Structure formats: structure tokens, C-alpha cells
């Protein structure tokens, strides 16, 4: 089953996302800031990264830019998690290199549907693997 890295500084959001994903049998690894998230992405090579935009220090868009500039990590799809919903935000998120975004608060079913859809289209997807 796929491994998903969540980069999220809000404890409640982290708990909720982790619970939903683990309930759907994904393996979850968690980082509370961008710097830790970048280190875990390089080390663990997750199948998907869920990236909060508003983080202390380096924000999620900057972190995505770093991931997408690194040949080691640029093929890992990144979905932004954002409370932003203003005009222009989508363009800003996609321009930063994110492969999509999901608005918070999370709609549980939609969240899991979007995660599954992104994993299914990712190169090197593990669908059907003995794992
Ligand atoms: Mn945040």
C-alpha cells in the first residue's frame, strides 16, 4: 500500500488526515514543518505528499519548489492542503509546482477520492503490487 507524507503544522488537521488515510490502509509519515518534510521526502520517498501551505518558517509552496527542483524528489506528486480559497490562489499553488490542491476543511470522502486518484495517475504507482 502507498506511503503518504503529510506536512502539516496544525495538530488537529494532522490527526484528522492521518486517521482518514490510515483508515483507508495507507501508511502515513508525518512532518510538522517544511524542513522536516523535505528531509523525510528525500529519505522515505513517499508515493504522495500532502503539503499544508501555511507552515512556520518555510511555507508549503516554497517547500514544493524545493522538491520539484530536486531530481531525487521531483516525481513525487504533491497535493497542497489549503484553507485559502481566493481568486488567484489556484494559479499560485499550481505555479509553485503542486500537482493539485484540496481545500480545508476536508470533505472526508472527497479527500480520500482525490488521494486515490492522484496515486493512480502517478508514475511508478504501486497499484497491484504484492505490498
Ligand atoms: Mn498550517
Instruction: State the distance from the centre of ligand 1 to the C-alpha of 31, rounded, in angstroms.
Output: 11
Instruction: State the distance from the centre of ligand 1 to the C-alpha of 38, rounded, in angstroms.
Output: 16
**pTM of the prediction?**
0.90
Instruction: State the distance from the centre of ligand 1 to the C-alpha of 55, rounded, in angstroms.
Output: 5
pLDDT means per 10 residues, the chain with 131 residues, are 96 97 98 98 98 95 97 96 79 93 92 96 54 41
Compute the distance between CA of residue 109 and CA of residue 119 in angstroms, rounded to an integer.
Answer: 16
**Residue 97 has what pLDDT?**
95
Instruction: State the distance from the centre of ligand 1 to the C-alpha of 128, rounded, in angstroms.
Output: 34
Instruction: State the distance from the centre of ligand 1 to the C-alpha of 127, rounded, in angstroms.
Output: 31
Contacts of residue 44, defined as CB under 8 A and 6 or more positions apart, other chains included, come to: 3, 5, 29
**Residue 8 has what pLDDT?**
97
**Residue 122 has what pLDDT?**
62
**Residue 124 has what pLDDT?**
53
Instruction: State the distance from the centre of ligand 1 to the C-alpha of 130, rounded, in angstroms.
Output: 35
Instruction: State the distance from the centre of ligand 1 to the C-alpha of 88, rounded, in angstroms.
Output: 19
**Residue 89 has what pLDDT?**
85
**Residue 123 has what pLDDT?**
65
Compute the distance between CA of residue 76 and CA of residue 67 in angstroms, rounded to an integer.
Answer: 8
Instruction: Give the DSSP letter string of the chain.
Output: --EEEEE---HHHHHHHHHHHHHTT-EEEEESSHHHHHHHHHHH--SEEEEES--SSS-HHHHHHHHHHSTTTTTS-EEEEES--STTHHHHHHHTT-SEEEESSP-HHHHHHHHHHHHHHSTT--TT---
Amino acid at each position: 500500500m502507498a506511503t503518504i507524507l503529510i506536512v502539516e503544522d496544525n495538530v488537529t488537521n494532522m490527526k484528522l488526515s492521518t486517521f482518514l488515510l490510515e483508515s483507508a490502509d495507507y501508511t502515513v509519515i508525518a512532518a510538522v514543518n517544511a524542513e522536516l518534510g523535505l528531509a523525510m521526502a528525500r529519505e522515505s520517498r513517499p508515493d504522495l505528499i500532502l503539503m499544508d501551505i501555511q507552515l512556520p518558517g518555510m511555507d508549503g509552496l516554497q517547500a514544493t519548489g524545493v522538491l520539484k527542483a530536486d531530481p531525487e524528489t521531483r516525481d513525487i506528486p504533491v497535493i497542497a492542503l489549503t484553507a485559502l480559497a481566493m481568486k488567484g490562489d489556484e494559479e499560485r499553488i499550481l505555479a509553485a509546482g503542486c500537482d493539485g490542491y484540496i481545500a480545508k476543511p476536508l470533505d472526508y470522502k472527497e479527500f480520500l477520492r482525490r488521494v486515490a486518484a492522484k496515486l493512480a495517475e502517478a508514475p511508478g504507482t504501486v497499484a497491484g503490487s504484492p505490498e
